[in-house]
A and B are shown apart, each in its own frame.
Chain A
Amino acid sequence: MSDEKAVSIPQQSGGTQAKDAGADGEILLKVTGLQKHFPIRKGLLQRQTGAVRAVDGIDFEVRKGETLGVVGESGCGKSTMGRLITRLLEPTAGTVEFEGRDITHLSTGALRPMRRDVQMIFQDPYSSLNPRHTIGTIVSAPFRLQGVTPEGGVKKEVQRLLSVVGLNPEHYNRYPHEFSGGQRQRIGIARALALNPKLVVADEPVSALDVSIQAQVVNLLDDLQEELGLTYVIIAHDLSVVRHVSDRIAVMYLGKIVELADRNALYKAPMHPYTKALLSAVPIPDPKRRKVKSERILLKGDVPSPISPPSGCRFHTRCWKATQICRTTEPPLLELRPGQRVACHHPENSEDQAPQDTELLTEARQAAAELGKSSDTSSDK
């Protein structure tokens, strides 16, 4: 990717240009009511005493050629979601459809052909490459495992892939320990591209990298998408990484999607308080807006345990707008504006969904006081 593009992105105010093509394109991946509960077993008899509700009922779809960014704090189930859609894990409930085909409960054998089309890029470049294999072995593993012989031979194809991701093709017989983190991540990308996949799921692809390298890798992913027409699901724990590459962004909190919107809509007018808090942690790029609002919303407390998530809206223990209804009733994920789905009773930048309920919860009052603002934050927008 060129620097010119990276610089220009923040200035975009209208809709996405080239990427708009994906907006109403064909649906590649569709997820409905997806759940993953990890049983907690105790004692000698391994009796189940509870469950970690890592992913607890999420719906979304990924369209051909687009990039879906998934963000959320640590432990909110992003990786689990990624492993569910690549079917490294089997869902507890719900369905995963890839190209219209239900793959929710396919066996390892039946999944094999699909594995060619869905590839993963992993978070930790130090653990995602087998230290005992050469780069050539690593990048050619997909061919071996899928029984594919590329045109012109495996070695030539591996060298081509290495040069595509910006590595020296002569390095195919080196070992992972001889490379830096960024280079290793490029090796991981080359491996993911080997079989010409349709969908690439990248689980925090740059979190483990040095800040100066992060941009390079993100830009490489972006370039590759343009060249190869890839579809991405990119997972990240903050919005700064996904903002430039995503067409749409899903915000997760404690196993749920709380907001799913087009990138620009989400940045301009976030509706869910949690999204707003996440956004406030990202430095504001626009100097005009920076003067107006520089308040940073610091969420207090930790993410509650996914073993026994809070009742009603899961965010009510940390939300500064929480009222009685938030504690009792779970807000559904509703399309409050075209292309913007939100699960909140009192959304920002939109009509209140439960206007009758105005009494703030005690914790919320404290939180609101700490933020130094009134309950109707939406008005100052």
Chain B
Amino acid sequence: MTAPIETTGAEAGAQPEAVLAGVKKSQIEGRSLTQIAWMRFKRDKVAMAGGVVVVLLVLMAVLSKPIQWVFGLDPNKFNQDLIDPALLAPKGGWGGMSWEHPLGVDPQYGRDMLARIIDGSWVSLLVAGGATMLSVLIGTVMGLLAGYYGGWVDSIISRMMDTFLAFPLLLFAISISASVQDGFFGLDGLPLRICVLIFVIGFFSWPYIGRIVRAQTMSLREREFIEAARSMGARGPYVVFRELLPNLVAPIIVYSTLIIPTNILFEASLSFLGVGIAPPQASWGGMLSNAVDLYTADPQYMFVPGLAIFITVLAFNLLGDGLRDALDPRSK
């Protein structure tokens, strides 16, 4: 008999799927890839720590007003009595730390630093989160289109992504932010600033996620399950939403988590340069910017917002790395 078929006699006698013969009923419930990823993630202590910090930060941002109200914190209350009028620095060294003001007060005005950090957190996270969502939305749509349709659609979108990435983003962001006047879109003051920042950051960082989605889509498109769907009569939208997108969720989540810290830093840079969040609203980047001006008078001032940014960026990065390892074991 021929080689592969030779085994027929012996094999046909065996149970067709002996592998499952002894499986207990309780084990039959399927475990999805998400559940497996979660089990893997739970074992990664560093990523878990990052995740816990991220959750705490988000809670702090979302609940920042209630927290201030409960603890009687006021980010904009001047405490001139705590400031040395000659030096403009807080009295008593260590940035004016005391039981009343655990993180000290800021120079010049004597505002409570803890309150300002808490109050700045929601602005930072809102801008970074909003910008990330915007870039993920644009990037996913563009990446899917380019990767799925290929050809000239891909050529156009790819050139567009190259162009966006080659833009002198910071200069562009500065000029847009600076030229937007109050009353734009019927918004003014803080809401307008936040919207402008979300738009500028989000609109110029979508190619990062776009490239990843495009590459993933191109490799998924070659998989036979796409062909199987098409052979059963599936149209483009079905293939994209039902077959491709479920496989893209993991990389999108991972890279969003990794983009958020970049966007936090970007917001801080813009506020630092004076085109981001305008005073008196507290923002981490704005505080850093002030601290540089007052460096000689109160060097400690820059540590607090600096540390806040550092911890946030680190936590998101650790979480993102952990998610990537958990969702895609091959990357290890």
Chain A residues proximal to chain B, CB less than 8 Å? 1-3, 6-7, 10, 46, 83, 86, 88, 108, 111-112, 115-116, 118-120, 122-124, 127-135, 141-142, 145-146, 166-168, 170-171, 173-175, 177-178, 180, 182-183, 186, 188, 191, 195, 206, 211-212, 214-216, 218-220, 239-241, 243-244, 282-283, 285
Per the 8 Å Cβ criterion, residues 42-61 of B in contact with A are none
Residues on the B chain within 8 Å of A212, using CB:
7, 11
Flag if A240 contacts B246 (CB, 8 Å). no
The reply to whether the CB of B77 lies closer than 8 angstroms to some CB of chain A is no
| CA gap between A128 and B225 in the complex, in Å | 4
Flag if A243 contacts B12 (CB, 8 Å). no
| CA gap between A243 and B184 in the complex, in Å | 75
Q: Known contacts being A130-B246, A141-B229, is A6 close to B19, with CB within 8 Å? A: no
The reply to whether the CB of B86 lies closer than 8 angstroms to some CB of chain A is no
**B222 nearest in chain A by CB position:** A127
Q: Interface 1/0s, chain B 179-203, versus A by CB < 8 A?
A: 0000000000000000000000000
Residues on the B chain within 8 Å of A183, using CB:
17, 19-20
| CA gap between A218 and B2 in the complex, in Å | 13
Flag if A3 contacts B224 (CB, 8 Å). no
Chain B residues proximal to chain A, CB less than 8 Å? 1-5, 7-9, 11-13, 16-17, 19-20, 25, 28-33, 152, 155, 223-225, 227-235, 238, 243, 246-247
Majority SS at the chain B contact face: helix
Q: List the 8 closest A-B pairs by CB distance, nearest first.
A: A174-B30, A132-B246, A128-B224, A6-B8, A240-B2, A115-B233, A3-B12, A122-B224
Of A46, A145, A239, the residue contacting B233 (CB under 8 A) is: A145
Residues on the B chain within 8 Å of A219, using CB:
8, 12
Residues on the A chain within 8 Å of B28, using CB:
168, 170-171, 174
A238, chain B: closest CB distance, angstroms: 9
A355, chain B: closest CB distance, angstroms: 35
Flag if B224 contacts A123 (CB, 8 Å). yes
Q: Known contacts being A141-B232, A216-B11, is A175 close to B32, with CB within 8 Å? A: yes
Flag if B11 contacts A215 (CB, 8 Å). yes
| CA gap between A124 and B9 in the complex, in Å | 25
Residues on the A chain within 8 Å of B227, using CB:
83, 88, 120, 122, 128
Flag if A166 contacts B17 (CB, 8 Å). yes
| CA gap between A3 and B235 in the complex, in Å | 42
Residues on the A chain within 8 Å of B229, using CB:
141, 145
| CA gap between A129 and B223 in the complex, in Å | 9
| CA gap between A285 and B12 in the complex, in Å | 19
| CA gap between A107 and B12 in the complex, in Å | 44
Q: Known contacts being A2-B12, A122-B224, A167-B17, is A241 close to B4, with CB within 8 Å? A: yes
B284, chain A: closest CB distance, angstroms: 38
Of B3, B9, B25, the residue contacting A240 (CB under 8 A) is: B3
**17 more A-B residue pairs beyond the given contacts A111-B233, A180-B17, with a C-beta to C-beta distance below 8 A:** A3-B12, A115-B231, A119-B232, A122-B227, A123-B224, A128-B223, A130-B246, A132-B32, A145-B232, A145-B238, A146-B232, A171-B20, A178-B30, A186-B17, A215-B11, A241-B5, A243-B5
| CA gap between A86 and B4 in the complex, in Å | 28
| CA gap between A108 and B235 in the complex, in Å | 8
| CA gap between A367 and B246 in the complex, in Å | 54
Residues on the B chain within 8 Å of A10, using CB:
1
Residues on the A chain within 8 Å of B235, using CB:
108
**B13 nearest in chain A by CB position:** A3
| CA gap between A111 and B3 in the complex, in Å | 40
